[in-house]
Amino acid sequence: MKISFTLNGAEIRMETAPDRRVVDILREDLGLTGTKEGCGTGECGACTILLDGVTKLSCLMLAAQIDGREITTIEGMAKSGELHPLQEAFVESGAVQCGFCTPGMVMAGAALLEQNPAPSDDAIRTALSGNLCRCTGYQKIIDGVKQCCRKEHEKKEPS
Amino acid sequence: MNDSQPVRLGERTSRFDAAAKVCGAEHYAIDHYPEGFVWAGARRAGVAHGLLRSVETAAAERIPGVLRVLTARDVPGTNRYGIIHKDTPVLADTKVRHAGDAVALVVAETKEAMQQALAALVVVIDPLPPVCTVDAALAPDAPLVHEGRAEGNVLVHAVIEKGNAAAAFAACAAVVETTFHTPVQAHAFLETENGLARSNEDGTLEMIVSTQAPFRDRFEISHALGIPFDRIVITAPYLGGGFGGKDGATVQCLLALAAVSVPGRWIKMVWDREENLLAGYKRHGARLEYRAGALGDGTLHALECRLYYDTGAYAHLGGEVLGLGMEHAAGPYRIGNAHIEGWCVYTNNPVAGAMRAFGVCQVSFAFEQIMELLAEKLGMDPLAFRLKNALLKGDVNAASVRLTTSTGIVECLRKIGKHPLWLNREAWKAAAPRHKKRGIGLAAVWNAMGYGKNVRDSAIAKIALGEDGGFIVTNGVADMGQGNASTFAQIAAALLGQNAGRMRVIQPDTVSALPSGSSSAGRTTYAYGNALVKACEELKHRMINRAGLILFVDDDRDLRLVPGAVEHAPSGRTIPLDRLASFMKPEERISMHHFVTPVVTDLPDTGKGLAYGFPHLFFAYGAHCAAVEIDLLTGIIDVAAYATVTDGGRVLNPALFEQQIEGGVAQGIGYALMEECLAGEGILRTPNLSTYIIPTALDIPSIDTDWVETDETSGPLGMKGVGEIAMNGPLPAIANAVADALGTRICHAPFRPERILAAIRESML
Ligand code: FES
Ligand code: FES
């Protein structure tokens, strides 16, 4: 089938099988390999993308489900060479080790901050609990989200 | 990193690799989809033990898009690989020995065609009784997992003997005896085993693999398939996790076989999560029978233990894993009399191999509970009892090796003893809410660094000054996420007075890099780092010398490297590095150095059955403290807080140090509370991540990471490896905390709620 959707701000039209997984469309067909696959069955969160601003697991979605929708992947988070504040905070807080969970974590963390700019530790842990990380013990990822909140807050209300 | 300043050691700086990873721009092996690539996939046996009668390929071959269907008959070479024991077939020939054995390989134009073909294969296996436990494997009439072995199912049996343990018990005022069980753990790295291969017209075999040991992989492929190893070129990009599970061949031989059978095409193989859990390596499950005694004054005096490690269907590094378990079996303590006996046995369970804390986290569970039990019997404070017996530099450990390198366990224990978690334990426990009980537990642990005796541990560093005045470090040891590549850049930048922007690290490939061993054993930064320090010194010396020539200065002491230039300090004159580079010939601008890790020279007269990797000269140490709250109604354990103090020598970058410790603790908490690969009759009952559960952000508390800085004078800038040590602490610390809370001890891990509930019922009797 023919589908069209917005991907990181750009219009995409393509011919694809309706049951092609979105993670394969992104990675294999469009070369956006920042979105990772860690399980293919909805358990790890490595394939997290934003669909109309809401986190979704791209390994569980099929082509037909993105027709006419707006997708953001990790490649769309940095704007004109500037890292997204959460990406920057992840770099600074040491949230990245092997980095394989990182794109999914950034998407999940950024979606949380959109809804709740000052989440509690518990809220952060809950929001990220669908994203597995085997390297970090999560501490520095949580620190990264908190650091990002702090900096954004300071930007808005310079003391 | 702040780019205007030269990089310094000991400072908390961001990782060089973080920016690319956080943008999704880093290309892991799995991210490669070369033009015109095709897919390869393996058919797994699905039966734990049996005779392989036939593999019917005709129907699979007829499926459109299928390029080749391969069975053992198509394997050139020996069809066997294995790091020390060459006992693993690429494709099973006469027998299957575990359910994850590969029996056939399909190469197809599309993934769908590959999957259809794998399903269309008709595999006929005559089942044999599976050998599923250590006891079944050691029974006199046990079926043999590997036919024709005189040793039966025993892969390695060895004894470490010191003093006279049997006689020493008589003098003991306290004697305790307990048997412990530890589970099979999966590495569960997020990037599953995968790679690509292409066989070229010129006879070379090119591969991109998610591997911890690209250089050793060549030998494995060469031995199994009869391909000269110098024709095999392997690139190891950043790994999406490894933890030991990618140390040893996974996809390598299968991919190489597919490539030589379908030459000229890039062939991609990716194990999905189910295949990873079924066929991937695991941590050895173990049974540990301990008896230990202490004198009335609190001196640890006698230990007798028997350790049984289940290595599954193939050896991998099972004997060496057992060896480390035995070497660490008495804990980081002085003990006069020890009889430590171990068996590593073949079964039809999933293959156990290398995993972070290689054989050591099993015995940590045992000896740290034994220490608590002894302290209890003696009426001593558990911390004081540990401190009294903790190893000091100069002591002889239970393996009869004199400790001549940095030994910081006493400092670790002292520091954990001052931690608020420990100091305020009574108040915290007393504040437990209704239906909950709280407990605090300690653990003192150690972990050898380096391969050990008879396994040459060497690395060759290579650094070059580029034409543009930047520096290129050619990494020889794969970076599986621990950040060694970043640390190499940090070391080189600091020694050469440069800022981060001037450093580039190339990830290993077997052409550009020099053989530097595997990414394992806590040895990566130590071995390669030592080589790199020397390589940098030599390069710096050459650059200063050449700058002196250009600037007409003959006293080297007046010249120094500053970001982007060599400066003549007294006059302030400089020569930019790109200009300096243009004055140097390419071969002058490359500096290499070969480092070999020292080994124990004064060898103990024991442990004869441990041929490879025994004993060790270097150890990292740690003291852990866990605070748990147990729900008496559900049996659920909440690890409420966790603190660690580690001796890893000098800390080059606190951020990376903490990453290793926190990550190790998290894996250890998973090991303690939930992780267990369950195989019933050799068939995995935890085939995916919804049945094999690993910790999420909700399961791990905030972890307080501290350290004591000993100076490991042999290490690069005083450091020693800390990749493994933290994994050893959580299981015993949590076990001790649970015992503290409930007043009853659980010797069977993991502590799933049903086990806790049973213990609660028992404690109420
Ligand atoms: S790959 Fe989609 S949740 Fe794991
Ligand atoms: S950084 Fe490796 S899985 Fe999260």
Supply φ then ψ for residue A60, to 5 degrees.
-105, 5
User: What value, to the nearest 5°, has the Cα angle with vertex B600 and ends B597 and B605?
Assistant: 155
Closest-approaching ligand to the CA atom of A99: 2
Range of the domain at A46: 2-76
Which residues of A are less than 8 Å from B26 in CB distance? 99
**DSSP code for B674:** T
Q: Rounded to an integer, what distance in angstroms lies between the CA atom of residue B600 and that of residue B597?
A: 10
Report d(CA B451, CA B596) in Å as an integer: 11
Q: Which residues contact B377 (CB under 8 A, 6 or more apart)?
A: B174, B175, B176, B294
Asked whether A49 lines ligand 1 (CB < 6 A), one says no
> Ligand 2 within 6 A of B241 CB?
yes
Looking at residue A153, what is its pLDDT? Answer: 87
Q: Is the CB of B481 under 6 A from ligand 2?
A: yes
Q: Which two tokens stand for residue B8?
A: 């310094």
Measured in whole angstroms, the distance separating CA B3 from the mean position of its chain's CA atoms is 33
User: Are the Cβ atoms of B659 and A35 closer than 8 angstroms?
Assistant: no
Could you give the 3-state DSSP secondary structure of residue B439? strand
Phi first, then psi, for residue B511 (nearest 5°) are: -95, -55
Among B residues 651-670, those touching chain A with beta carbons less than 8 Å apart: 655-656, 658-659, 662-667
ipTM exceeding the 0.90 mark: yes
Q: Are residues A103 and A130 in the same domain?
A: yes
Q: Are residues A70 and A114 in the same domain?
A: no
* Residue A106, φ and ψ in degrees, nearest 5: -60, -45
Question: Given this model, what pLDDT does residue B2 score?
Answer: 46
Chain B residue closest in CA terms to A89: B22
Map out the domains of chain B as residue ranges. Answer: 18-27+458-596, 32-128+193-270, 285-453+602-764
DSSP A26: I
Q: Residue B574: left if φ>0, alpha if ψ -120 to 50, beta else—which one?
A: beta
Amino acid A146 reads K
**Strand ranges inside B486-527, DSSP E:** 503-506
pLDDT means per 10 residues in chain B (765 residues)?
76 96 98 98 98 98 98 98 97 98 98 98 98 97 96 98 98 98 98 98 97 98 96 98 98 98 98 98 98 98 98 98 98 98 98 98 98 98 98 98 97 98 98 98 98 96 98 98 97 97 97 96 97 98 96 94 97 97 97 97 94 97 98 97 98 98 98 95 94 98 96 95 97 98 96 95 80
Closest by Cα among B91, B477, B118, B122 to B256:
B91
Q: Residue B450: left (phi > 0), alpha (psi -120 to 50), or beta?
A: left
Q: Which residue of A has its CA nearest to B480?
A: A98
Q: What CA–CA distance (Å, rounded) separates B222 from A39? A: 31
Q: Which CATH class is domain B32-128+193-270?
A: alpha beta
Tell me, using a 6 A CB cutoff, whether residue A59 lines ligand 1: yes
Cβ under 8 Å to A: B residues 254-293: 272-273
CA gap B547, B569 in Å, rounded: 12
B658 Cα: distance to centroid of ligand 2 (angstroms): 14
Task: For ligand 2, say whether the CB of A100 is within 6 Å of any of its atoms.
Answer: yes
Residues of chain B in contact with residue A137, where contact means CB-CB under 8 angstroms, are: 662-666, 700, 703
- What is the b/e burial string over B345-376, where b = at least 16 CB atoms within 10 angstroms of the residue's CB? bbbbbbbbbbbbbbbbbbbbbbbbbbbbbbbe
Domain B285-453+602-764, CATH: 3.30.365.10
CB-nearest to A136 from B14, B659, B694 is B659
How far, in Å, CA of B473 to CA of B507, rounded?
9
Nearest CA in chain A to B25: A34
Of A43, A76, A109, the last residue of a domain is A76
Q: Which residues of A touch B482 (CB under 8 A)?
A: 97
Going by the DSSP 8-state scheme, the letter that residue A29 receives in this structure is I
In chain A, what residues touch B22 (CB-CB under 8 Å)? 83, 87, 90-91, 96, 99, 102-103, 106
* Residue in A with minimal Cα distance to B272: A39
| Local confidence band at A159 (pLDDT 50, 70, 90 cut-offs) | low
Strands B154-162 and B88-89: unpaired
Question: Chain B interface, mutation test: which of A49, A101, A124, A139, most B Cβ atoms within 10 Å?
Answer: A139
B141 class by beta-carbon count within 10 Å (0-12 exposed, 13-18 middle, 19+ buried): exposed
Quick check: helix, strand or coil at residue B625?
strand
Show the tokens assigned to B306: 């028997």
Of A27, A90, A125, the CB nearest to B22: A90
Q: What is the third-level CATH fold of B18-27+458-596?
A: Aldehyde Oxidoreductase; domain 4 (3.30.365)
- Mutation choice for ligand 1 from A43, A105, A133, CB with most ligand atoms inside 8 A: A43
The greatest distance separating any two alpha carbons of chain A, rounded to the nearest whole angstrom, comes to: 55
Give the other-Cβ count within 10 Å of A67's Cβ: 13
Chain A residue nearest residue B274, CA to CA: A39
Tell me which DSSP letter residue B47 carries: S
Q: Report the atom number in ligand 2 closest to the C-alpha of A98.
A: 2
Which atom of ligand 2 lies nearest, measured to the CA of A134? 3
Candidates A98, A105, A138, A142: which one to mutate for ligand 2, based on the most atoms within 8 Å of Cβ? A98
Structural domains counted in chain A: 2
A 86-145: CB under 8 A from B: 87, 90-92, 94, 96-103, 106, 121, 124-126, 128-142
Domain holding A52: CATH number?
3.10.20.30
- Quick check: B346 and B155 in contact, CB under 8 A? yes
Minimal Cβ distance to B659: which of A75, A94, A121 = A94
Tell me the C-alpha distance between B85 and B316, whole Å.
7
Model confidence pLDDT, tens digit, residues B195-238 = 999 999 999 999 999 999 999 999 999 999 999 999 999 999 99
- Which string of DSSP letters, residue by residue, matches B275-314? HHHHHS-BPPEEEEEEEEEE-TTS-EEEEEEEEEEEEETS
Gap from B18 CA to chain A (nearest CA, Å): 5
Rounded Cα–Cα distance for residues B574 and A148 (Å): 41
Who's near B39: CB < 8 A, 6+ residues apart? B107, B108, B109, B110, B111, B113, B114, B267, B268, B269
Checking if the pLDDT of A156 tops 90, the result is no
**What are the helix and strand counts (H, E) for chain B?**
20, 30
In sequence order, what are the residues at sequence separation of 6 or more whose Cβ sits closer than 8 angstroms to the Cβ of residue B148? none
Secondary structure element (H or E) that encloses residue B448, with its range = strand B436-449
Measured CA to CA in angstroms, residue B682 lies from A93, B97, B185, B756 at distances of 43, 9, 15, 26
Strand order in the sheet with B95-96: B95-96, B50-56, B122-127
Closest partner residue to A78 (CB to CB) among B21, B23, B483 is B23
State residue B3's pLDDT score: 59
B324 CA from centroid of ligand 1 (Å): 36
- A82 contact partners, CB below 8 Å, separation of at least 6: none
Distance, in Å, from the CA atom of B232 to the CA atom of B199, rounded to the nearest integer, reads: 9
Say if residue A103 is in the same domain as residue A151: yes
Domain boundary among A76, A107, A135: A76
A126 and A150 share a domain? yes
Nearest listed ligand to the Cα of residue B690 = 1
SS3 content of chain A, % helix, strand, coil (to 5): 40, 15, 40
3-state secondary structure of A3: strand
Which of A32, A43, A75 is the closest to B689 by Cβ?
A43
The confidence score (pLDDT) of residue B763 equals 77
The CB-side HSE value for B536 (13 A sphere, CA atoms) comes to 25
Longest dimension (CA), chain B: 89
The residue length of chain B stands at: 765
Question: Are residue A90 and residue A108 in the same domain, yes or no?
Answer: yes
**Residue-by-residue DSSP string for B312-355:** ETS-TTHHHHHHHHHHTTT-SB--SEEEEEEEEEE-SSPPB---
Q: Which ligand is nearest to the CA of B238?
A: 2
The answer to whether the B32-128+193-270 and B285-453+602-764 domains have the same CATH topology is no
The verdict on the CB of residue A39 being under 6 Å from ligand 2 is no
Ligand 2 pocket check for A134: Cβ under 6 Å: yes
> Phi and psi at residue B146, in whole multiples of 5°?
-115, 110
With residues binned 3-state (H G I as helix, E B as strand, rest as coil), the percentages for chain B, rounded to 5, are 30, 25, 45
Q: What contacts B503, CB < 8 A, 6 or more positions away?
A: B7, B16, B470, B471, B473, B489, B492, B493
- Number of DSSP helices (H) and strands (E) in chain A, helices first: 5, 5
Q: Are residues A89 and A149 in the same domain?
A: yes
Asked if A72 and A25 sit in the same domain, the reply is: yes
Beta carbons of A96 and B21 less than 8 Å apart: yes
Q: Are residues A142 and A103 in the same domain?
A: yes
Q: Chain A: residue nearest B690 by CA?
A: A43
Q: What is the pLDDT of residue B476?
A: 97
The rounded Å distance from CA A92 to ligand 2 centre is 16
Please indicate if any CB of chain A lies within 8 Å of the CB of B640. Answer: no
Domain boundary pick from A51, A76, A101:
A76
A94 vs B27: CB contact, 8 Å cut-off?
no
Residues 431-490 of B with CB under 8 A from A: 480-483
Are A91 and A151 members of one domain? yes
Distance CA A87, CA B22 (A): 6
Residue B281's pLDDT is what?
Answer: 98
CATH of the domain at A139: 1.10.150.120
The sign of the CA dihedral A132, A137, A142, A145 is negative
